[in-house]
């Protein structure tokens, strides 16, 4: 499903179906823009409609054929192509992958891999440990404008959903959840080779919260002279007790955080909305308006999808 805004996120069109397969659940993944061609790509993967245990299907999918589908638009999302079937090439260590998540991908603008498209992925390799044996999170990348894809960096065991942003040096900062080590904090990795491998791993003690996907974006926009700024969105709290409990993976009190040191620390934060919240993503418009898209509700965190608009001054608490 797709909804579009042509006024900076103030209003949105009615949702429309881009693709439907009666025999499958279609799981949307990364949306990524190729700024060199103007094309938009929307990745998705399929689960047979009769499958009940999706976690177990991850293993089956990896064993049989790691694959996903890609829709393409050349008119800013007004019309879309038929889905192209993609089977990414394995990496040098034998990992295969397919697209994951509902967050956006990135295109690299610095370093030796300028123009490369990078999206989050589920990866599989037989015999490896994980919440689902053989499955963990990682990256896929394309150097030919989305025509073909390669399996890239592999995250630690128990990882899966990840968010990405390019640093000012051309590296990739990766924020991800780790299901087999639920410490209550966010995990991170860094790649210095365009997403082909990771060279640094760690945990953010200043980013608490449940294991749900998070938003991540670089702030670009006025005022001029701003130091490099990353934004991150996530519910820091576990679900509160209510008459109708929130699902196990949910959280509360969606919050946006700010980093001035390329994701090393996140000292600034502001509550977006109290109450149940789950997955989120972030974007920045040309005029510097920040958009946060998230699922939320009064009693459960999956009652609706909301979009909030704010500016950097609000986040820094310079104005109401």
Are 75 and 179 in the same domain? yes
Confidence of residue 226 (pLDDT cuts 50, 70, 90): confident
CA distance 163 to 174: 6
**DSSP β-ladder status, 290-296 and 304-310:** antiparallel
- Domain check: are 43 and 177 in the same one? yes
Which residue, 168, 186, 208, sits at the end of a domain? 208
Residue 56 — φ and ψ, nearest 5°?
-65, -30
In this structure, is residue 10 part of a structural domain? Answer: no
The H or E element that residue 215 is part of is strand 215-218
| 240 in any annotated domain | yes
Residues 111, 43 share a domain: yes
Q: Can you tell me the distance from the alpha carbon of 315 to that of 83, in angstroms, rounded to the nearest whole number?
A: 39
- So what's the pLDDT on residue 243? 45
The CATH number assigned to the domain holding 103 equals 2.120.10.10
Q: Does residue 246 share a domain with residue 201?
A: no
pLDDT > 90: percent of the chain: 75
Residues 203 and 237 both lie in one domain: no
Residue at which a domain ends, from 192, 208, 224: 208
- Let me know if residue 12 belongs to a domain: no
Cα four-point dihedral sign 202, 268, 259, 293: positive
The model carries a pTM of 0.93
Domain around 277:
216-320
Please tell me the distance from the alpha carbon of residue 130 to that of residue 173, in angstroms, as a whole number. 22
At residue 180 the predicted structure's pLDDT band, cuts being 50, 70 and 90, is low
Residue 18 resides in a domain: no
Residue 17 lies in a domain: no
Note whether 74 and 195 are same-domain residues. yes
Cβ atoms 293, 307 nearer than 8 A = yes
With respect to residue 262, please indicate whether it lies within any of the assigned structural domains.
yes
Residues 6+ apart with CB under 8 A from 160: 100, 122, 131, 135, 136, 137, 176, 177, 179
Please indicate, yes or no, whether residues 124 and 230 belong to a single structural domain of this protein: no
Share of the chain above pLDDT 70, in %: 94
pLDDT-derived band at 240, boundaries 50, 70, 90: low
Residue 33 has pLDDT above 60, yes or no: yes
Q: Is residue 20 part of a domain?
A: no
* Residue 2 phi, psi (nearest 5): -135, 140
Does residue 291 share a domain with residue 176?
A: no
The reply to whether 251 and 286 lie within a common domain is yes
Does residue 194 belong to any structural domain of this protein?
A: yes
Q: Within this chain, do residues 286 and 179 fall inside the same structural domain, yes or no?
A: no
Q: What average pLDDT does range 246-268 have in this prediction?
A: 87
Structural domain count, the chain:
2
Same domain flag for 108 and 167: yes
**pLDDT above 50 (res 116):** yes
Cβ neighbors of 118 (< 8 A, separation 6 or more) are 32, 105, 106, 107, 108, 139, 140, 141, 152, 164, 172, 194, 195
Among the three residues 159, 189, 208, which one is the final residue of a domain in this structure?
208
Arithmetic mean of pLDDT over the chain: 91
Strand 96-99 relative to strand 106-107, pairing: unpaired
Question: Do 171 and 304 have their domain in common?
Answer: no
Higher model confidence: residue 292 or residue 211?
A: 292
């Amino acid at each position: 499903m797709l909804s579009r805004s042509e006024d900076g996120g103030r209003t949105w069109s009615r949702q429309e179906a881009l693709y439907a397969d009666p025999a499958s659940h279609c799981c949307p993944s990364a949306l990524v823009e190729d700024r060199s061609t103007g094309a938009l790509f929307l990745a998705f993967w399929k689960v047979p409609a009769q499958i009940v245990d999706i976690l177990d299907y991850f293993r089956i999918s990896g064993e049989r054929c790691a694959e996903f589908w890609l829709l393409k638009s050349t008119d800013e999302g007004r019309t879309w192509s038929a889905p192209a079937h993609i089977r990414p090439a394995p990496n040098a260590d034998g990992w295969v992958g397919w697209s994951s998540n509902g967050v956006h991908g990135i295109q690299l603008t610095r370093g030796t891999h300028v123009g490369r498209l990078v999206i989050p992925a589920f990866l599989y390799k037989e015999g490896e440990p994980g919440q689902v044996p053989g499955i963990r999170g990682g990256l896929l990348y394309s150097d030919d404008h989305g025509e073909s894809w390669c399996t890239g960096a592999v995250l630690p065991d128990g990882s899966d959903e990840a968010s990405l942003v390019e640093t000012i040096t051309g590296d990739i900062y990766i924020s991800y959840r780790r299901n087999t080590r639920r410490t209550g904090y966010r995990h991170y990795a860094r790649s210095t080779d365009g997403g082909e491998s990771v060279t640094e791993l760690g945990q953010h003690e200043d980013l608490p919260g449940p294991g749900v996907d998070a938003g991540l974006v670089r702030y670009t926009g006025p005022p001029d002279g701003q130091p490099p700024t990353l934004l991150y969105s996530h519910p820091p709290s576990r679900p509160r007790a209510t008459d109708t409990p929130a699902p196990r993976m949910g959280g509360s009190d969606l919050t946006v955080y700010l980093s001035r040191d390329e994701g090393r620390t996140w000292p600034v934060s502001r509550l977006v909305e109290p109450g149940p919240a789950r997955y989120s993503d972030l974007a920045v418009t040309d005029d510097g308006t920040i958009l946060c898209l998230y699922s939320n509700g009064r009693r459960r965190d999956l009652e609706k999808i909301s979009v909030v608009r704010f500016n950097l001054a609000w986040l820094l608490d310079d104005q109401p």
